[in-house]
Structure 1
């Protein structure tokens, strides 16, 4: 036994020794081993370790020197001289900066201010305190200005809003006293320019816009200079690496990514070029050309340019952008080029180099092993290319995120769908830590109690399926199953000090980081809210908990990563933070059975709805339409088709005019639009909005709730008539509703009759050259029926027509107020050009599939119901109920202001 033990010990020491030789090639560690042996008086071993340390030191230093010389050999002499010249410029700039700071700041030149303090000033926090100080000091106009200045960047802060409302009641304060004390000079000139523009003072407006633009360029340059902040490096890199990584990490390059400085200066640069047209055609052409530098595909500006060239016979060469605009765009391009190099080719400390090519390739970036080429995937971006048809776009891969198995994609869901999904978590109260979380099983129970959440539940299940499919495709893991699905929401300013363990590093699933193994192989996160206040970020971290890369959550943004990939979540500061979080695994035994139960619940609800639908009496409903003046004027046989009809009298003349005015509303953004050239013809401008943007206008008090209600009711009557007249066997749901007006552009009308406002197409398949039509993701295959409700007839052209398979006209219908054209979504149809005047209509698409129900309609109905309840409460209030002392009301608003500020605006 003793012989065996001795032999085993000898083998163990041999193994340990060989392991040290293989792995401990770091001369620092070898030196430490030598020192340990020295202290233990193991002289032989200490000499051995010291010699190995010396050898490794020379090996490492000589290798680095050889690499530096090799890199210089790969550069031309001109490049090396340019580098030395650049280095000299850096030295001169450094010297100038240090001397300037010492001259102007004296002993404060090298003073450092904590990051958290800077954030308070960037967030205008001092103004919040200052307004209360001014109030107590009796300086009310200054208090109002300070409160308004803070409110500009904290519009969700109900406390400051209440303060402002109080200030408005004071006789000493006028409207003009509410000013933004942080407003930049270029913004002041721009606002004056807008005022002059709206008053028709074209020359004055152009001069103010031009002055504002010069001030903007100056302010944007100052913003870039502010990015040249300090940098703490985690290590002791080579000089040239330190400069490169400092440029990347401090944002000197990344300021351009996401338009950091243009966003920070509040007004989009391109806005300065809008409306800068006076009687000076040279300046007008310069403005158009400059605008197109920034937005080369802008349809409206291209139409303006086209009008000058084709109609007024001006030349292309007359459109020359300003020198400042050209210089600015060139700067953007150069920074874009540098950022692209950093993201795609720059070698990080964690990157691996191909051993076979490493010796020969030197510094050439092509020999860096692409981190996409791991785990059986030669090109991960190609794996998910098919998802682009669904609107999902891969934004960043592992290399850009400074890791191995990571990605970020965008276009996952729309804004209205984000809200519907977040509503699931919002059905619960916040816990003591400021979190509300809901699982699939809890969602199922919620829907059983309130079927108003059915749409949200369907969206959640579809979301989980798409997240799984995209993640599986990207990582080449076809066997992934869903283990867990949650919707998490964190309240703004949530405090965790007392609720979570000390030192908790918060994870996306709502738990603290622990040493335990994580269940599942991958995680995917889809964000439902926009974090626009520089908080709520997601961070990837390394083994030392140092940040490697960060993601700012936005609605529709999705990220995926290995479950054991270290990360942390920064809590929100101003806005609620919501996300869908799923874990994925290859272990089939861990598959979440609650998802199948949820799908069964939805199936049961649909069966019950279909059964009730089949038992309904269509004749009674159609008779009710008839009694209200709705008449079927053309049937399927008249229109040379089976599932087609035309009905008149669905809305009155007064209702048509109200809806037309809604389509012309100002301030519509997103999918709503105003004054854009038609995508189908250069001869029309189209304006309009969908239900989501109608809801937005109601929230902004730009439109009366009754107008939005009319929009909903008119389209709902159309849906019900289509469903009942065609005697369908399953319910119809709205897929999308669109209110739109098309206006003919004055000018050359030659051959306008042959032009099409909307080419021949089908609503649920793609027409092929041979006349056939095939389903395609881009063709909205979920749509089963379509309808158009017309609102006027005082225009020429614009007829709707059904078409043959060869796309020739079959039969046409002339629009008029209250006329509805309904048909099977697979029918070929088109719209003739509007020759003169304006044509307005509500376009509707319907589906039998409840998974594609129009979410914005549900939100609009909730907004209107909420508004109705508020009006009812106002009617119930008596005059004594609202007769509150202003002084006591103010005390309610500002009590414990210091405490409320800290509670609602936690530091990062």
Structure 2
């Protein structure tokens, strides 16, 4: 196994410590390091945490090496499995030899004390999530070892891209004087992922010579990582995951227990292909990770003129999908170019990999059918004939479901008919073509100047009473203050008399009008539901704008995790994966900066910009095809209604229904009050009390002065309840 370059730093620490005593268990070193961290003993914390990381890597490497070595020394490779009548004693004799080999190897590599290196599952998960680097970066920063602090922070952030505090720390490091670009290195870099992303980059840039080299490296390193993962599957079982089954398993006989454990090992081995195809810090894997290499390679080799290797890669791809029409046609072309006598042979290593995988799947599916096991097959290329008859119907249903739920392609989206806009006066200012993208549009005159002023008055009156950050620092930048208000909170404040009821209701109406416009334009045949509605204001902090280099809102996509380095967007939590369309309804333009901009997937290349102004609505699909951000607001206050929509009713905004119910109740109360006023007026006229109609309940007979105060402040008095003409 190749050692990541960053590990050399940790290895040097181990060498410096000398061979005087056996290495302490990594979990104890970790615990002592964390204690030193909270005691602010930064030097000791850095030393112990580095040693714990090295100890964990050493333990994992020892386990992998022992499994590999003992597989050759005490396995079936030389003599083959026992087949004669005394097979049981011969089989278990070999098993005992393997166990002895593993025990001896672990003792030799771990200084005779392998048992003390068994750590709790929670501690192991910390190391898998690179948690020690979170502590290390602070310790190194306190010790003024900036290069090591930055590399530790970057190593943690790669595996935890949604960690908000680390995101802020990374932005600070990027702005910090004296920090070099090469300091941002991943000390735990996975070799096959580094090569894979470099290969994709060269492939996308039409540099096929370099693409071939890096993709071949990725494939080679990936298969090594697969072997390492499979070796670790033969290690200790997760005790926490087996607690519920422990009592039942104690009642099992010899063969039942062996079968249960062996099937768990086989399922772990099958899952390894997901592990190597999932980038650190991500949840979703790259589908068909190994087969896709050969698809890319056959094309790249063809582009550099190596038809022999192109044909070899195409033949290897067909081992996974033997009836793939596109690749079969490619094979015909390569065979014609090479000549009829040329022999094209798929790669033997991949043929062996597939045969081994199918043999394991066959055993697992037997256990599923006869022993009550479950199995989620990670490979879409598994032949259907391997699946038990009783599971084939379910398998087909799953495939059909995935096909129906698959997102529409960009070409299909562009072919969708655009609906007529449901409101007169609303104009389309820029479409997708003018915005240099897909599923984008800018419309104007959605609100009038008067309506914009009313909603701005609502935002100002709500002030720190909103639901969001209440005027505190923006979560995205320290140079701006951020205020947020939901529709429900606005109406609740109106009921309390804090804000104008009419303005709060206008927020509800403006957002619904925007929804109808977006629905009619993008999905005329499908209902759009609100996912979230937020009145948002960003205010430039006075005296903190000089030399500013950050954004008001960093580049992102709304329903997936943008990965600029991998040139992809991962549709997985914590992203709001159910959001389908996004929109922003602007309320003002009296500020500096604050333009919305779209980029390519690299989050750097700007493709279009939109300048906010009153009544302007920008709408777009929420996926990775539309990365966007907001330039810094350097002066003034930028306010807009942010809107997100979903096609799934189960993910519709619950607060929205509560807000609409509150409005209905308010209208019913007003109607009841209006009828009571009318009855009183008629009763008064019949009694001849006065020629002047009585004032409605709750309203002063002479309201001129109070009306003036109301119009200036924008706040409705509790006693004053004008009828809502809207």
Q: TM-score, normalised by structure 1?
A: 0.29
Structure with more of its chain in strand, by fraction: 1
Structure with more of its chain in helix, by fraction: 2
Q: TM-score, normalised by structure 2?
A: 0.36
